[in-house]
Structure 1
Amino acid sequence: MANDITVGKILLNALLVAFSIVKTALIPVFGVLSLCLKGPIEYLDKKHRVKEDFYIITFFLKSVAKYFLAVRNHRFQYWYLFIEQVEQNADRLAISYPRPLLKKGDFEVESFTYRETYYMVLRLSHILCEKYGVRSGDNIAIDSTNKPLFLFLLLASWNIGAVPAFLNYNTLGNPLIHSLRISNITQVFIDPQASGSIKSTEKEINKELPDVRLNYLNEEELLKVLKDPKSPKFLQKDDLRSPSGLTDYKPAMFIYTSGTTGLPKSAIMSWRKATIGCTLFAHIEHMDNNSVVFTAMPLFHSTATLLGVCSVWSKGGCVAISNKFSASNFWKEAYLTKATHCQYVGEICRYLLNTPVSKYESMHSVKVAYGNGLRPDIWQKFKHRFHIEVIGEFYAATEAPLATTSYQKGEFGVGACRNYGTGIQWFLSLQQTLVRMDPDDDATIYRNVKGLCEKPAVGEPGEMLMRIFYPKKPETSFQGYVGNKKETESKVLRNVFREGDAWFRTGDLLKADEYGLWYFVDRMGDTFRWKSENVSTTEVEDQIIGSNHDDFAQVVVVGIKVPGYEGRAGFAAIKLKNPEISEGVRIEVLNRMLTHLNRELPKYAHPVFVKLVDHIEMTDTNKISKKLYRNQVLPHGANGDETIYWLKGYKEYTPLTDEDWKAIEAQEAKL
């Protein structure tokens, strides 16, 4: 084994050296050619985007060779990548945090270098081991808002060899208990600021999961200990952190997503994603050790932790974390932290455009904004107003094995979430594809007379699929969900283009243009996105029915488009057992339902609009016609004679009037 590793090192090091020589030799060659053939090269670059492809491909080859060496040496975990940055960038900033002060809009910037972060993590590791008994192989949960404490807990768990699960601190009640159960959590480490949901569900947790230990941390006292050089430190032994049976597709962390069963799913985020995936993403978005990525996205989502934190750390740069998104303070915090990159979702961009002009929006140093959901209608407005040079729109699902990216400058490629040159697009065609949907049901994939799928025409929406390279062992590409074999298998589509192949289903519709660029169209099936969060329609349906069995006979929940708003707002069509009740009683019933939803669901999952119906439309196969309800016309239905109720101010349900609708359209009444 030792000889194999030595030979592997020699071969891979030789490959790296050869690559370096070739790259060094090619750069001046390309320089000379570009001077001699400036016109033709400019034409080729415009048509095939060869410069950006060359930038990505050369790094890709080097990174893959280095990663294979790490796998061969059994050092593929992110902890070793972090240690490498500590050694190379010890005195550079790793974390910048504008901590909110008592006076609204005031901040005190806290910062930690790589060296400081490393030693604080070792001290926290000692506390976790000695005081709480955390051991390698344990599954522990982090319940924290955006702050350095979250990142210290993450790195400490990786040092010890434990697997962290990121709780959504808005989750409470049965979904919270379910989240802890399915991930086999032994302990929860709780930030005081995020403790509300845990405290409100503590009795039920203790009853249902008596072996789960709830640890309420004193952040202020804990940080004093972590900053004290005299505090004891703990560095895990390599053979315990990286046991022989560990593979790079095993979990680095668990991140919760909405499930079609109505309860969260615990998605496995592999070491492969956290290391090589984030490193490549960082390069595509042009990060280096001078980069500062500002994120106001919640760290319990993969967008912030993987594509924000892990990506910029892989380059030796700094992550700047906002405690909570604030449209009025966004650019101020970006300015205070000297951010070069910022993360967004489409809703954030629209919120920022609706804020009054601030001096900070022209003082910040952000040149690259990357994220998903930025709609074409505000794309260029966002760039021009906030002096952004590049938009890095991407497509990624939490559990997906691959992602698509873009690095959009100028006018070409506005709105695209996959934007590469001809070379990379050809390569990606082997890994990613779109398939046609049934013309009568955009949630069902079309199969021809041979039982195989087909690719859609240019401009025609199709579900995005990602290849599983070893169909007999799909977990090597798609790790799925902990303790949920049914949901995991439901994401694997087989016999797509030929007998025996297998692909991961994203559940999202995209379309391609004549240049091969891809654009996001919409979500499919039983989830929708609102307020930057994925909402399970089944979960909301279950809670609505559970709130009032005496009054509700049947319910369907979907997401519907609202002009001027990103994503889809929750819409519930509810069949009453007694349709003859008066208007006043109807409103009382809906607000009794709201009282229950306030206890069981986060606000973003509450139906914003409700319609009381005499019957629920069904298909010939006795399925609810969700497509019909997704096309609900506001404010009074297609014929203008329907009564729609809306969640006014998220306080009460009341009939939607013309005046209300005008205020919503003008965004004077916020949804």
Structure 2
Amino acid sequence: YSNVFFCSFSAASVLLRVKLNVRRHLREKNTIPKIFAETVHRHGDKTALIFEGTGERWTFRQLDEYSNRVANLLLERGFKEGDVVALFMENRSQYVGIWLGMAKIGVEAALINFNLRLDALVHCVTISNAKAVIFGSELTDAVSEVHSSMGKAVQMFCSGDWDPKRVPQGTECLEPLVAGAPSHLPPRPDHRLFYIYTSGTTGMPKAAIVVHSRYYRMAALVYYGFRMTSDDVLYDCLPLYHSAGNIVGVGQCLIHGMTVVIRKKFSASRFWDDCVKYNCTIVQYIGEICRYLLNQPVRDTERQHRVRMALGNGLRQSIWEEFMNRFNISQIAEFYGATECNCSLGNFDNKMGACGFNSQILPFIYPIRLVRVDEETMELIRGPDGVCIPCKPGEPGQLVGRIIQNDPLRRFDGYVSQTATDKKIAHSVFKKGDSAYLSGAEGKAGMAAIADPSHSTNLEKFVKDMEKALPPYARPVFLRFLPEVNKTGTFKFQKTELRRDSFDPSAVSGRLYFLDSSKGRYVQLDEELYRSILSGKCKL
């Protein structure tokens, strides 16, 4: 990451403020439900959540009452602190109320990506040791496909339109059960908050552990760092099974009393209309959302809104200025991080093109740095003393954060799988014998290399099988067919040369294909299509 620059004193002061707040909450044993109770006391009758799909508005008091009923229902059914319940549904206000209700009694929610199907879905439920699954009626077919693989001991609850003929046998309708449960405040244990799954583009998803202090830290860093207020209205069109939507977004509601507009799914054509309708002042984005908005035809509402800030990560430097000018956005609140990482960054000074800061003023508060890596293998490069070598200004490298478990900003809670946790930790990074989190490198568009010497692959069948087994983000955007796939001397697949060739048809011998999402099939990749992809005319 080379677009990181040195921070001002104001950024360092934000880190110090959040660190002190987290320490206070830990000392006072303030969980997210307990902090939310204070928010309800301050903002009881104010609108907390708006669900764009129905226009339904919940006040803070209504959200509190709904989550209490969920908590008491689960207690009545025998769930206890430390149990896990999988939550598998599309965005809506109930989503927040359900996991918040679980948190009030120490039941941990496993927030499962609603795009998952078959083996990946079963994997996410089973590795969490979930005793129940609460699913949205819109996902009944997906649940029915795998119900027999989950085991009879897993209880099933359906939220939404109820059709007893379609749901798996033994499933109960959630709504009347919640409505009939007591609304009083249940006991408040202190336990893990929930699990958020990594995307798992190179394998099955990993369940990252989110504790109460981490939830607070992530939400508070952007709130104070980007100078938000409780009077802001935030437009959240991101999936609630991920940290961007459920912590960075919804966290502003639960912790800071902000009104949050929840959208079922992102819509480029409805984006600015929604912002005008609900008087939004902050919008969230991730990845290519900003480019999708720029590709939309010009409409009046794109400059009639009250939005002053776009909050998110992944805005390309090449379209940064165009996005601000066209949509009249005065501040881009770009940040970089991951659900489980301890080295998040924030562009608190609105510097164009940057994803964050590297503090040289108060490094002991937030010890992070870029270190040199072998760009072919991504292995850390070490000096004669065995310690990692820091990057010079402007030099790309891998972001690392020193792990100090008793420091709320430096701790690394890891994953449910200890093996997965160990893979993200390096030693002797800042100094001999220390430990640090590796933030790795993320891919935006994967390529699969397939050995097909006889040219017998049926691409239509391949697409159908892939759609059943893989969520959209895990499907290879490019295919490369080879006579054979080369291996190293230790029988590992040789990926270095394949990565170097990329998807350039002039550099690749053999057949290349591109997944055209508009057509739902792979098309042959030629020079013209290659140039169209590079120019951004053709969407990945």
Q: If the length of structure 1 is used for normalisation, what is the TM-score?
A: 0.72
Counterpart among 407, 419, 422 of residue 357 in structure 2: 419
**1:487-526 alignment runs, 5 A limit:** 487-508=420-441, 523=442
Structure 1 residue 133 displacement after superposition? 3.7
Cα distance change on mapping 1:215 and 1:417 into 2, 3 Å: same
Is the contact between residue 86 and residue 110 of structure 2 (CA under 8 Å) also seen in structure 1? yes
**1:10-89 alignment runs, 5 A limit:** 49-50=8-9, 52-53=10-11, 56=14, 60-61=16-17, 64-73=19-28, 75-89=29-43
**Does residue 214 of the first structure (1) align with residue 156 of the second (2)?**
yes
For the aligned residues, what is the CA RMSD?
2.9
Give the corresponding residue for 2:111.
166
Give the match's secondary structure for 2:146: helix
**Does residue 638 of the first structure (1) align with residue 507 of the second (2)?**
yes
Is the contact between residue 285 and residue 407 of structure 1 (CA under 8 Å) also seen in structure 2? yes
Give the match's secondary structure for 2:261: strand
Give the corresponding residue for 1:572.
448
Structure 1 residue 620 displacement after superposition? 5.8
Counterpart among 98, 123, 148 of residue 69 in structure 2: 123
Is the contact between residue 158 and residue 174 of structure 2 (CA under 8 Å) also seen in structure 1? no
**Does residue 112 of the first structure (1) align with residue 70 of the second (2)?**
no
**1:128-207 alignment runs, 5 A limit:** 128-130=74-76, 132-205=77-150
Is the contact between residue 125 and residue 157 of structure 1 (CA under 8 Å) also seen in structure 2? yes
Structure 2 Cα separation of the partners of residues 66 and 655 of structure 1: 55
**Does residue 340 of the first structure (1) align with residue 292 of the second (2)?**
no
Cα distance change on mapping 1:225 and 1:609 into 2, 3 Å: same
Structure 2 Cα separation of the partners of residues 457 and 667 of structure 1: 31
Deviations 1:596-617 (A, max 9, x none): 2121111232222211112334
5+ residue gaps in structure 1?
1-46, 100-107, 509-522, 529-566
**Does residue 97 of the first structure (1) align with residue 47 of the second (2)?**
no
Is the contact between residue 68 and residue 186 of structure 2 (CA under 8 Å) also seen in structure 1? no
Is the contact between residue 332 and residue 360 of structure 1 (CA under 8 Å) also seen in structure 2? yes
What letter is aligned with 2:157?
N
**1:139-538 alignment runs, 5 A limit:** 139-205=84-150, 209-218=151-160, 232-238=182-188, 241-242=189-190, 251-259=192-200, 262-409=203-350, 413-419=351-357, 423=361, 426-427=363-364, 430-438=366-374, 441-470=376-405, 477-482=411-416, 484-508=417-441, 523=442, 528=443
Structure 1 residue 253 displacement after superposition? 0.7
Is the contact between residue 435 and residue 462 of structure 1 (CA under 8 Å) also seen in structure 2? yes
Cα distance change on mapping 1:416 and 1:668 into 2, 3 Å: closer
What letter is aligned with 1:201?
V
Structure 1 residue 55 displacement after superposition? 6.4
Give the corresponding residue for 1:615.
484
Give the match's secondary structure for 1:394: strand
**Greater share of residues in helix:** 1
Deviations 1:86-118 (A, max 9, x none): 00111222111211xxxxxxxx42211111211
Cα distance change on mapping 1:273 and 1:475 into 2, 3 Å: closer
Deviations 1:529-588 (A, max 9, x none): xxxxxxxxxxxxxxxxxxxxxxxxxxxxxxxxxxxxxx3x22111112xx244xxx44x2
Structure number with greater CO (CA < 8 Å, separation at least 6) is 2
Give the match's secondary structure for 1:168: coil
Give the corresponding residue for 1:601.
470
Cα distance change on mapping 1:276 and 1:444 into 2, 3 Å: closer
Structure 1 Cα separation of the partners of residues 242 and 254 of structure 2: 17
Is the contact between residue 340 and residue 366 of structure 1 (CA under 8 Å) also seen in structure 2? yes
Structure 1 residue 665 displacement after superposition? 5.7
Structure 1 residue 645 displacement after superposition? 2.0
Structure 2 Cα separation of the partners of residues 297 and 48 of structure 1: 28
Greater gyration radius = 1
Q: If the length of structure 2 is used for normalisation, what is the TM-score?
A: 0.89
Give the match's secondary structure for 2:231: coil
Is the contact between residue 291 and residue 318 of structure 1 (CA under 8 Å) also seen in structure 2? yes
What letter is aligned with 2:115?
N
Cα distance change on mapping 1:497 and 1:660 into 2, 3 Å: closer
Is the contact between residue 81 and residue 275 of structure 1 (CA under 8 Å) also seen in structure 2? no
Cα distance change on mapping 1:281 and 1:427 into 2, 3 Å: farther
Structure 1 residue 318 displacement after superposition? 1.4
Structure 2 Cα separation of the partners of residues 202 and 70 of structure 1: 40
Is the contact between residue 232 and residue 280 of structure 2 (CA under 8 Å) also seen in structure 1? yes
Deviations 1:397-423 (A, max 9, x none): 1211241111343xxx22211137764
Identity %: 30
Structure 1 Cα separation of the partners of residues 430 and 382 of structure 2: 10
**1:526-565 alignment runs, 5 A limit:** 528=443
Is the contact between residue 438 and residue 446 of structure 1 (CA under 8 Å) also seen in structure 2? yes
5+ residue gaps in structure 2?
1-5, 163-172
Structure 1 Cα separation of the partners of residues 537 and 352 of structure 2: 29
